[in-house]
């Protein structure tokens, strides 16, 4: 039908003439209530956003001289965060002359990651940033989640 006839039909029915496929030969149009269509599309997008799970990044801080028991506590915290589906940022902070021995922090972080390897994987390798060394662990993709 001609564009003029389609517009007349849309006005007669109190609807909008919406071009669906402009590159088709001939162009395809549809009669619809465009305001209602936009409202329903926004509603679907809101529902989709609500259904998404936000992944948080939790942080666990250590020092090169952190004792074994305190490291165990931080391991349990990191394990809980990973089980909840969050990423874990493990930071080893240096004070004073500790910065001259980054290999201590590297081995500490590698051991930390190895002990959590059943539930998490290294997303960002240990990297020196200012006065701290940082590593990011992400939960393993599982079938049940």
pLDDT tens string 26-58: 888 889 898 999 999 999 999 888 877 777 899
* Domain edges within the chain: 3-51, 57-139
In sequence order, which ranges of 28-67 are alpha helices (DSSP H)?
34-51
Q: Does domain 3-51 fall into CATH 3.10.20.80? A: yes
> Do 3-51 and 57-139 come out as alike in CATH topology?
no
For residue 99, give the 3-state DSSP assignment: helix
Structure tokens at 78: 């990191």
More reliable by pLDDT, 142 or 74 = 74
Query: Distance between CA atoms of 21 and 137, rounded to whole angstroms?
Result: 46
pLDDT tens, residue by residue, 52-102? 777 789 999 999 988 899 999 999 999 999 998 899 999 999 999 988 988
- Give the model's confidence band at 143: pLDDT under 50 very low, under 70 low, under 90 confident, else very high: very low
Query: Among 3.30.365.10, 3.30.930.10, 2.60.15.10, 3.30.110.10, what is the CATH number of 57-139?
Result: 3.30.110.10
Query: pTM value?
Result: 0.61
Contact 105, 133 (CB under 8 A): yes
Question: Residue 69: its pLDDT value, please?
Answer: 93
């Amino acid at each position: 039908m001609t564009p003029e006839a389609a517009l007349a039909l849309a006005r007669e029915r109190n609807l909008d003439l919406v071009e669906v496929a402009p590159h088709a030969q001939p162009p395809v149009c549809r009669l619809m209530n465009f305001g209602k269509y936009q409202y329903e599309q926004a509603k679907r997008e809101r529902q989709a956003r609500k259904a998404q799970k936000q992944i948080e990044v939790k942080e666990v801080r250590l020092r090169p001289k952190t004792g074994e028991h305190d490291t165990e506590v931080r391991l349990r915290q990191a394990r809980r965060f990973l089980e909840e589906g969050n990423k874990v940022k493990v930071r080893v902070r240096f004070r004073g002359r500790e910065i001259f021995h980054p290999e201590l922090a590297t081995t500490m972080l590698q051991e930390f990651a190895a002990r959590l390897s059943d539930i998490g994987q290294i997303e960002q390798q240990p990297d020196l940033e200012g006065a701290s060394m940082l590593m990011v662990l992400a939960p393993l993709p599982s079938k049940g989640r």
